[in-house]
Every structure is written in C-alpha cells, then in structure tokens.
Structure 1
C-alpha cells in the first residue's frame, strides 16, 4: 500500500483573495507590496525580501521612503511619486534605490493607486531590480565606443601608411642626391648647407618611421626582452630628455616576465612619453616611470578574454589634457602643443608600436591633475 501522506488541502480556485495571495507570495523576481494612502508598507512578499533584504517584520508599518536614497527622500521625491500615481492613474520610472544593507541598486518601479469608489485607500507597488541589465548596457556602450575609436584609428592608420610610404620614397631620393653632391664638392659653404639639409632629411626619416609605426607599416624586429633592464639601460638618456627641471623616478616591479618586442621602438616610445611629460611641466615637476604585471584584455575583446601583460606607465603631475582632446591624442599630427613645439606624432608612435606588438595603450588625464600613459605588452608565451 502507498505510504500514508498528509497532502495539503486543495486550493479553492474560486477563492480570488487566496489565489492572489499565492501569486504574490510565489514571485521572487519582483517586490510586490501594498502601501496605505500615506505611503506606509502594509504587505511584503518574498521578492521584497530577495531584492531589498528586509524581512516582513522589519519593514511592515514603516514608510516606503526608506527605500529611496537620502538625496531623493530629502527632496520629497517619494511623496511626489504617490501624488503622480493618484493624479494620473499610474507612476512608473527607473531610479536608484537602497537595500537593507545600504547598497544601491537600479530599480524599475510602478505605482498604481487603489480606489474604493472615490476614496483613495492605498497603492500597489511593484519594484524590479534592473541593475544587471543596466551594467550590461553600460558595458555594451563602452565596447561600441572602443570599437568605433579602434575603427577610426585603423582608417587613419591606413591613410597614414600610404602617405608615409610615398614620403619615404621621396626622402630616399633626396638623401641619395645629397650624398652624391657631398661626394663631389669640397666647398665648405656648400658642405655646411649639405649638412643642414641632411639633418633635416634625417628628421624627415624619423617622422616617417613614426608614421609607419602608427600605420603598422614599419617592420618590427621582435626579440624577447626584459623591460626593466631596457629602461635602466636608457636611464641616462631619459634623464637628459626630462632635463634638470624634472624629478624622474623609476618604480620597477621585480621579476617581470619577458616580452617580445622591437627594442628601438620601445625605447622611442618611452622617450616620446617622457618628452611629452616634460613639455607639460614648463616650470618643473615629477615624472614617474613604472612597470608592473597586470591582467587585462584588448579593447576589442570581451572582458572574459583576459591575459597577462607587462604594463609600462609614464605619469606626470603636469597640466593634464583637456577632456575634449583626450579621444584624439593618439591620432597622427594631433597635438595640444603650440605651433613649432611638436609634430603630433609622439603618441601615435606609442599607439602604433603597442598595437603592432599585440598590446594596447591607455591614457588617463585630468585638467591640472596630471597625465598617465600606459603601454600594455603581452608576456612571451614561450619565454
């Protein structure tokens, strides 16, 4: 014979209040509760416990304004929401609310008035936690912005690459011609002019290399390197670039893994960043060059695709970069410096080197609050 169970009595489906109570008490994704006409909580369901953290005995009989932020409660927002619901037949909105533990969450709220004839006897209130949806939308928007910036820089890079190749070909003709002329004259006046022209040509060759690096047209000679050792080896050069007005300090994390990069391009990138920091502090300041091991993901990849990078940062306490200019700082020829003080190719070289090396760059800057530029380079997979 079957075991002797004591089943629960069947629910009378014709008992509407009983049905309603079962429905409300079965919902955990929504806080569904009743308020009296003055906004005091009269009922509480499991959804309210899960979303807001209060047990029924903690919240029933208290005013629902406790769920609002202090700023909104002080401004009378809860009362206005009830007045809107009573006057218009419904109130709905999204806003930040407060849990029992003090944390905030983004809520989708609906308030409906309850009438007994012409008498307002209370309100039905439904709250849903939409924080996760909001954060997902924020991540999606950030990814879309990053993708648009990446596509824009990629397009600029392709244009730059074509121009740089043509410019490089022209410079090759100029340099070769100057060499031929130099070998056929002993006139000191012409020799001095040739030397000036050669220096200008060398400058043009350097600019072309910076353009090619940004456009990923420069062939990099990659080798496994210890960034700390490379920075220390260039400390004297970096100190001269910083000048005596600056305090240059190194903060190098020990035992960093190797990275596979082009030595000369990394040296040029660090020199560019130190020079930029120097130019941002006309009356002196502090430049900090640091290295560290970090987990991060490429801007075009999902956050879950994290990997190890060696991060090199150059930070200063200079004038900073205006917010409206920060999205353009890695574009070639864009500069915030006065005419004649910069080509606008320094940061584009840094960007191109990092991208071509399988990494990326980040910039954090505040007007009058200094600037930090970070170069993320992937660690060697097979050191």
Structure 2
C-alpha cells in the first residue's frame, strides 16, 4: 500500500535565517543604532553631523566630507565656526545660530560657507537642538550645497532683465527711427549749404564761423547716424580692411571733430593683420570715441588712437580659448569717469554728461558694433587720470 500523504514541507528559503557564516558579510539590521549610522553616512548630498553644546563637531558623515572637503579625522573635535567666512565669524554668526536654535527650536539660513582650502559655496543650513530630559545635550546640523541653484536663479534673473531691456529698446527704437530720418535729411541740406558757402567765402572771420557751424552740423549728423543704427539694428557689411589704413584716412574727419585745444595723434603696431569689418561702422565708432574724449576735456588735452594685436578670450566668454584681436584704443587725459558709472557706460541712453549735451548712444553704438562683429569693447578709467576705451575686433583665422 503506497503512502499518499503529502511530503513533509521543507524549509522556506525566504524565511530561513542566514547561516552564521553569512552574518559577518552583511550589516545587522536589527540594531537601530547601526541602521541610523549607516543611513546618515550613506547620504552624500547633505553634510549631517552632531555638535556638542559649545559647537564642537562630534560626528561626521560622507556628505560632510564631499561637500566641505574634510575627513572625519580632520574635523572631529574642532569648532564648527571653521566652516564660516571671516566676516560671519567677526559678526558672531555661528554662536547666533546656536542661540536661535536653542531658544526657538530650530535655526534655518542660507549663506556663504567655506570648504577646506578656502573655496566658498552657497549653503542651506538647518540646526536643531537635541534635548534629553529637558537638558540640552547638543545640536544636529544639516548643510546642503545650493551653489548651482543660486547660479541658476541668477541666470534666470539676468535673462528676464535682458528680455525686459530688449522690449524697452524695441519700443524706443521704433520711436526714434522716424525722427532720425527726417532730422538726417535736414542736416544733409545744412551741411551741403555750409560747404558751398565756405567754398565762396574768403574772409577769415567768416570762415571761422562757418567751421564752427560745420562742426555742429557734423555732430548732429553723427547723432542721427547713431539713432538710425539704434532704430534699425543695421546688418553689418564686412569686408577685409587694414585698420591702419582706415584710421589714417579718417584722421581728417576725426581732427575736425576736435576743438582747438585738443591734439589728436595715432600710433600703430607694424604689420597688423587685416580684419573683416564694416568700414562705415568702424569709422562711426571711432568718431563716437573721439567725440566723447573731446567732450571730457573742455579745457583741452590729448587724444591718442593706438592699434595693437592682442591674444585673449573675450570678457563675456572668459572660458573660451584665446584668439587674436586687433584692439583699437582711444585714450584721453581728461577727468575720467566716476567708478559708480563705469558699469553702465555701454547702456543705451546712459550718459555722464549734462542734460542736453549727450545722447547716451555713442558708447552703446561702439559696444553693439564690437559684439556684432564678433569682438568686444572695454573701458578703463580713473579719476583724474583720463579714460581709455578699447574696441577689439577679431582677426580672421588663416584657412587650414
């Protein structure tokens, strides 16, 4: 007679305790202290550590080492103020954070903190007091590196500001375009008439007055060109030119833009390479720079135009590889520009001149022309030491 009873059930592998030999290979999960320690140490995006009641570090996790750069051996027993900037230490910020956490139950803040080696990062900080039987026994501190988030916010704000500025400029550009066209037509008639009168007039006194009128008309023509360029967003027509030749042939116009007390000279490096540039816009930029320097020296002075070959990365792309630029500098020995104004000099319609004596379009035209040409513009100025504006235009790469 066969046995039809079901076979005895064997052990369920899922429920069978691990052999004693396997226990050493895995962490014991029934020890709450070990679980918590391993959990905290496994967090790498947050620095999580304990402080005693005086602010000395008593524990350290992997996230603390990754974010702040210190190993456990380097940091245990030291005061947590070492993570603060000198300015925060001087203002007693570390002690203030502990006091607020102790009195209010929690302290939260964002600010700059210091890594090992002195580098700074932007941190989000939380400090919680730890009580045992109503006795303060220490603090739990959590720090997160939020530098990337801060940089993203700054870039977003810059993009919003740029978009708002673009809308403003578009609206102003449409307004100025029609006015500039009409004004330019009137000035062309005035300039042609003055040239004709000057041709037939021989009296020195009359010629002197005519020359003054011509300078004023040319300044008006320059203003209309600036307005037209600003209003239309003109497309550049680039051709290969020698910078030395362009400046040399423009010197007569540039000298006429200067009054009697201003001397103008030019100096160039030998064998400067040619550049691809819109000649008319380059001449307009030079006239803008010379006119600005002239206005900065009402009692007279010197203006120097120099052109040199420079190898560098543009300031707006400092991480880019260095390349070659022809840098045209227009320097004067005027009073200089106040430091507070220097960051805004390339903004459209910003001017340091008195009302009615400047449109605020000269330097913005230079800046826009430089960027549209693939280059950049810079300004250096110091009180009482004059001003230098650099117009840097790229040198074409040799064909491979």
Q: Sort the TM-score into its range (normalised by shorter chain).
A: 0.7 to 0.9
TM-score, length-scaled by structure 2: 0.72
Counterpart for residue 120 of structure 2: 104
Note if contact 1:224-1:259 (Cα within 8 Å) is conserved in structure 2.
yes
Counterpart for residue 313 of structure 2: 295
CA gap 1:206/1:285 in 2 versus in 1, 3 angstroms: closer
Deviations 1:175-209 (A, max 9, x none): 89x69x98xxx9999xx89x799947666544433
**Secondary structure of 1:54's match?**
coil
Shift of 1:382: 8.4
Note if contact 1:361-1:375 (Cα within 8 Å) is conserved in structure 2.
yes
Note if contact 1:321-1:371 (Cα within 8 Å) is conserved in structure 2.
no
Counterpart for residue 80 of structure 2: 64
TM-score, length-scaled by structure 1: 0.75
Q: Distance in 2 between matches of 1:59 and 1:35?
A: 11
**Secondary structure of 1:62's match?**
coil
Deviations 1:198-253 (A, max 9, x none): 9476665444333222323768653212335534565687678497766867575x
Q: Give unpaired runs (5+ residues) of structure 2.
A: 1-20
136, 139, 158: which one aligns with 2:155: 139
Match runs of 1:41-52 below 5 Å: 41-52=57-68
Note if contact 1:214-1:352 (Cα within 8 Å) is conserved in structure 2.
no
Counterpart for residue 319 of structure 1: 336
Note if contact 1:96-1:104 (Cα within 8 Å) is conserved in structure 2.
yes
Does 2:168 align with 1:152? yes
Aligned length: 368
Note if contact 2:49-2:60 (Cα within 8 Å) is conserved in structure 1.
yes
Q: Greater RCO between the two (CA within 8 Å, min separation 6)?
A: 1
CA gap 1:286/1:312 in 2 versus in 1, 3 angstroms: closer
Counterpart for residue 26 of structure 2: 10
Quick check: 66-75 or 238-247, which moved more? 238-247
**Secondary structure of 1:128's match?**
strand
Counterpart for residue 280 of structure 2: 264
Counterpart for residue 88 of structure 1: 104
Q: Distance in 2 between matches of 1:187 and 1:288?
A: 34
Shift of 1:90: 0.7
Q: Distance in 1 between matches of 2:167 and 2:397?
A: 28
Quick check: 203-212 or 243-252, which moved more? 243-252
Note if contact 2:244-2:268 (Cα within 8 Å) is conserved in structure 1.
no
Q: Give unpaired runs (5+ residues) of structure 1.
A: none
**Highest CA radius of gyration, 1 or 2?**
2
Quick check: 20-29 or 5-14, which moved more? 5-14
